[in-house]
């Protein structure tokens, strides 16, 4: 794992955006794996700036998002579909048909998971996957467990995740208790991975991810076995390393 410790959130966002931009410049038809949450917002802003300055072109890029809440429709302001549209897609020239996000309202969730996984494999996997990290070490919505879940699947969200994500909802009762998430194998098959984290609250998860035992109790720890992971974090998130 390559570690880059930066001064602050803005520096993390700039560095990550430069890496994504160079991926797109070198391979204009890149398959990007995208994440939600607060962490990648600054990176998306930087990418939009680069697009407006005509430094990058998303017309041949395809994207797959890591996850989506179960039960939330695309138009729900808390859905990850909505987040991606508002924070990135509506500002750039990615084609609608090239955007992939699990459908949290699919009638047959198992079929939706299988189909999502197949769509990723049909593209030959993800070229560059962006990851944030949960305070409990989750990636996507792969929660601490007794085994690593391989492929896209329906997840029961961890109490800590529900509590931490309740900040985006009016009340904790509104936070969905389930989600669809890419699996660990899906993520690990990505050719390159960038893991982003900021702030003291992520320090323990980052320590366990980089220095701890590889265990499904810290899902992100499996990244130690990937041969092209760049961890870009601020000083606070690096404080326990
Ligand atoms: C969410 C998402 C993750 C994200 C994580 C951290 O639950 N499913 O993909 O990385 O939480 O979020 P934040 O960046 O807001 O701390």
Q: What is the pLDDT of residue 88?
A: 98
Is residue 149 very low, low, confident or very high in pLDDT (cuts 50, 70, 90)?
confident
What are 64's strand-pairing partners? Answer: 33, 100
Asked whether residue 239 is domain-assigned, the answer is no
Average pLDDT over residues 162-179: 94
Q: Report the CATH number at residue 46.
A: 3.40.50.1360
Q: Which three-class secondary structure state does DSSP give residue 43?
A: helix
Domain membership of residue 240 (yes or no) is no
- Cβ of 39 less than 6 Å from ligand 1: yes
pLDDT digit string, tens, across residues 5-14 = 999 999 999 9
Q: Is residue 92 part of a domain?
A: yes
CA distance from start to end of the chain: 13
Query: What is the pLDDT at residue 193?
Result: 98
Residue 201 falls within a domain, yes or no?
yes
Q: Whose CA is nearest to atom 11 of ligand 1?
A: 134
Q: How many domains does the chain have?
A: 1
Mutate to test the pocket of ligand 1, among 16, 67, 134 (most ligand atoms within 8 A of CB): 134
- Which domain does 216 fall in, by range? 2-233
* Mean pLDDT of the residues in the chain: 97
Contacts of 231 (CB under 8 A, 6+ apart): 1, 2, 3, 4, 194, 195, 197, 206, 209, 210
Looking from the CA of residue 35, the nearest atom of ligand 1 is 9
What stretches of the chain show up as alpha helix (H) in DSSP?
9-26, 41-52, 80-87, 109-122, 159-165, 184-188, 203-211
What is the distance in A from the centroid of ligand 1 to the CA of 2?
A: 21
Using one digit for the tens of pLDDT, what is the confidence trace for 24-48?
Answer: 999 999 999 999 999 999 999 999 9
> Is the distance from CB of 63 to CB of 159 less than 8 angstroms?
no
For 82-118, letters b (16+ CB in 10 Å) and e give: bbbbebbbebbebeeebbbbbbbbbeebeebbeebbe
């Amino acid at each position: 794992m390559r570690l880059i410790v930066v001064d602050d959130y803005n520096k993390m966002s700039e560095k990550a955006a430069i890496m994504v931009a160079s991926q797109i410049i070198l391979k204009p038809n890149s398959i990007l794996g995208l994440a939600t949450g607060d962490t990648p917002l600054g990176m998306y802003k930087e990418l939009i700036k680069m697009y407006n300055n005509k430094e990058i072109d998303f017309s041949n890029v395809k994207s797959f998002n890591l996850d989506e809440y179960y039960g939330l429709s695309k138009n729900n302001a808390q859905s990850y579909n909505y987040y991606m549209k508002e924070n990135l897609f509506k500002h750039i020239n990615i084609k609608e048909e090239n955007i992939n996000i699990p459908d949290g309202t699919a009638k047959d969730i198992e079929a939706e998971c299988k189909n999502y996984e197949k769509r990723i494999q049909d593209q030959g996997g993800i070229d560059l996957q962006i990851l944030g990290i949960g305070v409990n070490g989750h990636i996507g919505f792969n929660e601490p467990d007794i085994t690593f879940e391989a492929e896209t699947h329906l997840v029961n969200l961890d109490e800590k995740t529900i509590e931490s994500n309740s900040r985006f909802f009016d009340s904790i009762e509104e936070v969905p208790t389930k989600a669809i998430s890419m699996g660990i194998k899906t993520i690990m098959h990505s050719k390159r991975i960038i893991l982003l984290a900021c702030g003291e609250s992520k320090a323990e998860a980052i320590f366990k991810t980089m220095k701890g035992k590889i265990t499904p109790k810290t899902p992100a720890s499996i990244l130690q076995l990937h041969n092209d992971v760049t961890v870009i974090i601020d000083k606070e998130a690096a404080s326990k390393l």
